[in-house]
Chain A
């Protein structure tokens, strides 16, 4: 057997091992991925940029900030913060909604891949038994 062949066989074993991660780890990796995606650096004029000040006031998630075409806000006087807030709220709610859907998708994915019976998981009686096991720890 030459080196490449050997390497290839080791690789097969390693791939096997990577497929066998327990679901807690899989879930943690999904979560890590989600967190990373939330911070993806975006460039280019197509990106929406929101005034940093108003976003900070609304307690927004980290978004790229910059000037963009928002100069007109400055001329709008007392309306400016309200409009910016409204925009920020819509952005946040969309963002949060999307994050929540991803979180559930990751969780459901793990549940589907698991071998525990769905019938048990869906029953809160099973939860009672889990609680008992936990207290026995």
Chain B
């Protein structure tokens, strides 16, 4: 059974990422805060007595569900998401942007950037992540930000591992292409 301290520590560690993920999904900080608060209350009320180790996957699932619930309730999908879903082709006939990145970028160039530039880059990356189609973004963030493996991501998203790999791969390519177009080398 998770102690109060364990639950507190867990929530403290996850709240910023959760907030950011919610913002990427709903494009509104105020709603994102409500979503995170909702998710925290749900996990505390319904699963606060589980062992601490069980909290992370539970919270991941609860957060995703709360975000989806928000969309269902608001009924109107953000026009941003819809617009970019249609503009982001699932099949990219161009050359693999990842390969292009490797060819052009001095991958250590960021060490010489000023803090301001770094902040700008972070902001742009966040924008592009928010523009990803929902499933691609979810898969990508769960794999690379939440550190879940393919199986865990599939469980969290309620889809097959094959779908997860496809979503991740598309998300990566879309991001790489978008960042390249905005002049960012990683």
Touch A–B, Cβ below 8 Å: yes
**For residue A40, which residue of chain B has the nearest CB?**
B48
For the complex, give the distance between the alpha carbons of A82 and B65 in Å: 45
B176 touches A6 (CB 8 A): yes
For the complex, give the distance between the alpha carbons of A3 and B168 in Å: 9
Q: Is the interface of B mostly helix, strand, loop or mixed?
A: helix
For the complex, give the distance between the alpha carbons of A121 and B119 in Å: 27
**For residue B44, which residue of chain A has the nearest CB?**
A36
Residues of B within 8 A of A13 (CB): 121-122, 125-126, 186
A8 at the interface (CB under 8 A from B): yes
B53 to chain A, nearest CB (A): 16
Residues of B within 8 A of A21 (CB): 16, 19
For the complex, give the distance between the alpha carbons of A13 and B179 in Å: 13
Count of chain B residues near A, Cβ 8 A = 49
B160 at the interface (CB under 8 A from A): no
For the complex, give the distance between the alpha carbons of A54 and B122 in Å: 54
- The interface of chain A, by Cβ under 8 A from chain B, is 1-3, 6-11, 13-21, 25, 28-29, 32-33, 35-37, 39-44
Please give 20 more A-B residue pairs, beta carbons under 8 A apart, in addition to A11-B145, A40-B7.
Answer: A3-B169, A6-B98, A6-B175, A7-B144, A7-B168, A13-B125, A13-B126, A14-B126, A16-B122, A17-B125, A17-B126, A21-B16, A25-B33, A28-B33, A29-B16, A35-B37, A35-B41, A36-B7, A36-B41, A44-B49
Q: Which 10 A-B pairs have the closest CB atoms?
A: A7-B144, A40-B48, A36-B40, A32-B37, A41-B48, A36-B44, A18-B16, A43-B49, A9-B186, A13-B125
